[in-house]
Each structure stands twice: as C-alpha cells, then as structure tokens.
Amino acid sequence: MAIKKYKAIKDNTITNAFGIDLSTRATGSNMGAADILEVFSIYGSQTTSSVELSRALIEFPIDAISSDSTAGTIPTSGSVRFYLRVFNARHSEQLPENFTANVMAVSQSWQEGIGLDMETYEDKTKDSINGSNWTNRTKAAAWAKSGGDYHSSSYVSGSGKMPTYTFTFEKGNEDIDLDVTAAVEEWAYGNQQNYGFGIFLTASQEGYFSNSSGLDEGAVLQNTEGQTTSCYTKRFFSRSSEFFFKRPVLEARWDSRKIDNRGSFYYSSSLAPSEDNLNTLYFYNYIRGQLKNIPAIGTGQIFVSIYSGSANNTAPAAPKLALSKHHSTANGGVLAAGDFFVTGGYVSTGIYTASFAFTGSTSLETIYDVWYSESGATTTEYATGTIKPKSFSTPGWNQYDQYITKITNLKPKYTKEEQARFRVFARPRNHSPTIYSVASKEIENTIVPSASYEVLRMVDEKTVINNSTGSTNYHTHLSYDVSGSYFDLDMDLLEPGYLYGIKLAYHIAGQWREQEEVFKFRVEDN
C-alpha cells in the first residue's frame, strides 16, 4: 500500500453575499451541512461597486496522520508526500476561467455547523446553533478579521509560520490536486495547531472595495487592489456529498516499492549503465508468520557474504568470494575493492536489504548469499539464499512490446477491511519457449522492472486510483521479488458495493504501454 486517504472531518462555506432582498448581507449564514463548497467574487450586483465574496473551509484529521506515522502505517517525514484533493462540482452557472485560488492554513478553531441553504442564506448561526460564518468562527466567538483568519507570513520550517499555496484554474472545471506536505508536517509534528485550510480567490482576484475611511467595516473585506469584474462561481463537492470519490481528502503517497533482484540478478557488464549493474537483495525475517526485527540487529547494519557452491552445488562452500566496489558509493554496500562482505541495512520491521555489483566468473550458475551479524569475534548467521546469475545480452531489437498478464491470486470479492497483495504473472505475448522450458513443470515468470497499476470503477469506467506513470512519486508502481511482480491495495480506498477493475501499464523501450487485460473484483461491506 502506497496510498492512504484521510477524509475531511469538517467543512463549510462562509460568505458576505447579499441575501434575496439584495440589501441584507448573509454574514451570519452557515452552510456546514451542504453537499457543496463555493468560492466566488461578485462585483456590482447591488451597487456599481458592491462586492460579495464566498470562501471554503476544510479540516482534516491530522492526529490520525501522526498516529499512523508513529505506528509505521505511513512513512516518516521525508518519505511521504501529502496532497490536498478537492473535486470540482459541475453546475449550470457561468464557469470562470483563468483564475487563481489561495490555499492557506486557518489560524483559529472554527465550528462546522448544520446549515444547508446556499441560495437565500436563511440558515443562521445563532442562539444554540453552532457554526462558523463570515464574521464568527463559532456561535459565540468572532474571527479576528471578517472572512476568516489565516496564516499569511513567510514560511520558515519549524518556526510556527505556515506555508501558503496557490492553485490556478485555466478552464475553471479542474479539481484541486496540490502538494501540501509542508503544512501537514507542521501540524503533524506539533509545530502548529491544525485548523485546516481556507480556499478563496487571491487578493488580486477578489472584488475591489473601499469605503470612504478605508476601514474594514466587518461585513465586507477591504481590498483596494482587487478586481472590478466578477468571478462566479467555482463549486466543489463537500464531505457531505453522496459521491464517495468526490469528497475532500488528504492523500498520502509514497514509494513502497521493494526491488528484489534475486530472480533477476545480473553479472556486471560494460553493456549496462552503472545503475543496472547494481543488484539489490532483501531478507524477510518472518517469525510465526509475522515480520520481526532481528533482536541482535534491530534497525542496525547487517552483512552479506557471497559464496560459490559445494561440489554438488546444493550449499555455499568456502571461501567467500571477493567483491568489487561499485563506483557509485551512494548505491553499493561494498566499502572497498576486494572486500568479502556487503554492508546492508534496515528497511522496515523485519526487512533488511543489501546492494552490490557482482563481477565474478560468469561460469558460476549458482551463488549463495549468507546474511549475518558480527559482535566482536562472534559471527551469527541468520539466513542463506540462492541466486542464479544471468548475463546481459543485446538482441539488437526490442524483443517484447506486449505481454500476457494474469493476477494469480485475484479473488472475486474483498471486504473494505482487507489489504490485499496482488501477485502478477507476466510472459511475452510472442514468447517462443525452448525445449527445456516446455519440459519444465513451471512456466517462467517474466519480471517487468517498471510497471504501474490503476483502478477503475467498472459501472462508469471512472478511474478511482490513477497510475503514477510519468511521476516521480511511484506510489502505484509494482514491487518484485524472486516470485515476480506484486502490489498491495488497501480496499478502504474503494467504495463498497461496486465492481472494480485493475489495469496495468509496463514501461517498455522508453514508453509506457497499457496492457489489454482488466482484472475485476468487487468490494463489499462485512
């Protein structure tokens, strides 16, 4: 799993627009239970210089993000990105184009409220009715400034100053998909209190207004640098929307790939660039079916030595093989040329890894990797693996551009609580097996080094999880190990009661090629 969504816990639209009588402003109105969030600026509807504004407030469960980070459900800071996703709501009104919205951290707490009326603004925050509005953040407490209070100072990490963002809408119907990692981390790590985001037009695009004294009257926002034209209206779906995939979310994305070359281990070759000569191996320490850290190592270093085979080639045989230092010191675990061990490290609970280039004799059909630790004169061995190295070759053409693909462990139905691991079997469509291959009990699984998945809702073919081809996030890229490619999918990302399909894309000969197969499954409540 490399995606996790955190749903909004409250949202609201606040406005100083005129009511139906075009004389009384709706500064006390609340729309916290409406299924729409609205952002606009209306110029000159009451008088030649009147201004009406609308802003959206959204808050997310940052405590849950902090807890998940502590528990290891999502990576720690630096290894995960957070994206604010707010989705466009189609409507019959004029759609503005080429405008920019601010996305700014709210600096004071506020109440959501239960108002619904977005037409005549009759649902007011008053008496015992909680809720925020244009002038008040709660029924009893006012904003310091009409229209909401926001962090607007220059951002400095860890200083209590929050980052500000902008998002530009060229056509007007775009969704917001905005990297807000810096703001989320300020909240999650306790540098600043979380009160969510405000979304509203930039100062230069909100309407112009100035009274004779130049003072803020409270009912309107003074903005002498604003527009003298309207920007009406941009609407988003709120958390109350009936549409599951349209509700505002903070989406955590991270690279969870584990590239285990045990089944695709290559001898170093002058034909290959440096990064392709490097092989990465993983060691998974399963104890009673659960991944556990090795007590003597914990999160520290582990060592790997490489051996040739015994006389019958069934076990490692001394001596250790000398290894070459990889010229990129950032990527190889051999610290000096001629060393007899690779320095590996900790990945996550119970998982360790080591990377090295292998320049040994290409006559070795099998080599063995032995994982161990050292404490003084004591060496403790933990595991021995088997590797069958291959040699790079150059056929002179791209051999395969299309594959036959199958998800071997696909079930017809999953529950929302499941986190499924999908195993992918692939072979070239035009594969011509040798006599040896035909005689083998198992068909060889081809590992596609770079592959990505997406998920569709089949009833309307809506893409509900986008693949990350062309991205640097790799949050939907497949991992692989000796058994082939695989990926994890948290079913809580999907709305129950629907049939979904998985589509795969492979990076072949410098291009992403979508594969033909669609693998279908349903998600149900318990």
Q: pLDDT tens across 420-472, in order?
A: 999 999 988 776 666 555 555 566 788 898 999 999 999 999 999 999 887 66
Q: Whose CA is closest to 32, among 111, 109, 103?
A: 111
**Complete DSSP assignment for 383-411:** EEEEE--B-----SS---S-EEEEETT--
pLDDT at position 397, please?
47
Pairing of strands 342-348, 351-357: antiparallel
Per-chain mean pLDDT for the chain: 90
- For 187, the enclosing helix (H) or strand (E) is helix 181-188
Q: How many residues in total does the chain contain? A: 526
Percent of the chain exceeding pLDDT 90 equals 71
pLDDT at residue 341 greater than cutoff 90: yes
How much is the average pLDDT of 157-181?
93
Residue 477 has pLDDT above 90, yes or no: yes
Over residues 312-328, the mean pLDDT reads 86
> Over 90: is that where the pLDDT of 84 sits?
yes
**Which tokens sit at 453?**
């998945």
Q: Could you tell me which residues come within 8 angstroms of residue 406 by beta carbon, excluding any fewer than 6 positions away? A: 424, 425, 426, 517
Tell me the three state secondary structure of residue 44: coil
Q: State residue 214's pLDDT score.
A: 40
